[in-house]
């Protein structure tokens, strides 16, 4: 309990380093919420002496639509990059606890953990949400991540998301989730094999996930002309109990 509190404070301070605009008032607000929240959580879990653990299951969520819209056909010489007129520019939110998509109207709540829009992935905290969902990325095999790391979780900031939306490039930091496996100017978004995202939700529960495909139906050899992109298929395990273990 104490460890958690210290960790939470550290997070808040870390965050202020990234964002000088945070006022002390805002910081305090966060601290108070954190303290109150963690106490209730602590009371809740301490009061139940003999909890019947809820089973942990590995689930594949297929074809989460992250603002897909078809390209506008071009007639005549091009005047710029191809456009997609039907796109909404909105995120699709997901909750690990329910295993379901959360309505976009709930964006200002902590009902969602993670949001997807094109290749951009956000978490519900920091610069991108009112919640307290933080995350980190490991280079490992999904099934071999048996325990969530104790710390290292971060929130998106105004400058940088926890998971970068750009393609990986030589020498880039390791928080990239995809690289361009297409040739030349044709971009094929390939989720990098062996990247596991570990999420600590607003409810202080852990989930791990691996993105498997960015194309509808998770085709073995995606074609960026024929296949519909912006469709996430991912595997995840949500630990509903108060433990970092994924077993």
Instruction: Tokens for 41, please give them.
Output: 């959580």
Smallest gap from Cβ 189 to another protein, in A, equals 10
The contacts of residue 22 (CB under 8 Å, 6+ apart) are 15, 16
**Cα–Cα distances in Å, from 59 out to 5, 62, 120, 124, 144?**
31, 10, 22, 21, 16
Smallest gap from Cβ 128 to another protein, in A, equals 16
Smallest gap from Cβ 94 to another protein, in A, equals 18
Note the Cα 113 to chain centre separation in Å.
Answer: 7
Longest dimension (CA), the chain: 71
Smallest gap from Cβ 246 to another protein, in A, equals 15
Q: Are 164 and 41 in contact (CB under 8 A)?
A: no
Q: Which of 3/76 has CB closer to another protein? A: 76
Q: Which residue ranges make up the site for another protein (CB under 8 A)? A: 60, 71-78, 80-82, 139, 141-142, 160, 166, 168-172, 179-186, 190-194, 210, 212-213, 218, 220-221, 225, 233, 235
Smallest gap from Cβ 160 to another protein, in A, equals 8
Q: Which of 136/190 has CB closer to another protein? A: 190
Q: Which of 55/78 has CB closer to another protein? A: 78
The contacts of residue 239 (CB under 8 Å, 6+ apart) are 56, 148, 205, 206, 207, 245, 246
Q: Which of 54/174 has CB closer to another protein? A: 174
Q: Which of 3/73 has CB closer to another protein? A: 73
């Amino acid at each position: 309990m104490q460890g958690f509190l210290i960790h939470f404070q550290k997070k808040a301070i870390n965050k202020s380093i990234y964002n000088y605009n945070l006022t002390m008032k805002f910081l305090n607000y966060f601290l108070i919420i954190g303290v109150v929240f963690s106490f209730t959580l602590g009371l809740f879990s301490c009061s139940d002496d003999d909890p019947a653990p809820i089973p942990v299951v590995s689930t594949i969520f297929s074809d989460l639509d992250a603002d897909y819209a078809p390209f506008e056909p071009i007639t005549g010489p091009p005047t710029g990059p191809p456009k997609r007129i039907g796109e909404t520019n909105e995120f699709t939110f997901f909750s690990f606890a329910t295993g379901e998509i959360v309505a976009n109207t709930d964006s200002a709540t902590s009902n969602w953990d993670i949001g997807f829009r094109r290749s951009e992935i956000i978490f519900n905290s920091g610069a991108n949400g009112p919640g307290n969902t933080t995350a980190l990325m490991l280079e490992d095999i999904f099934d071999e991540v048996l325990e969530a790391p104790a710390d290292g979780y971060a929130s998106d900031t105004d400058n940088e998301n926890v998971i970068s939306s750009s393609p990986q490039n030589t020498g880039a930091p390791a928080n990239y989730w995809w690289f361009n496996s297409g040739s030349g100017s044709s971009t094929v978004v390939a989720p990098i094999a062996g990247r596991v995202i570990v999420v600590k939700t607003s409810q202080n529960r852990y989930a791990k996930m691996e993105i498997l495909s960015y194309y509808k139906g998770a085709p073995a050899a995606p074609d960026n002309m024929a296949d519909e992109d912006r469709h996430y298929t991912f595997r995840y395990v949500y630990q509903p109990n108060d433990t970092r273990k994924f077993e």
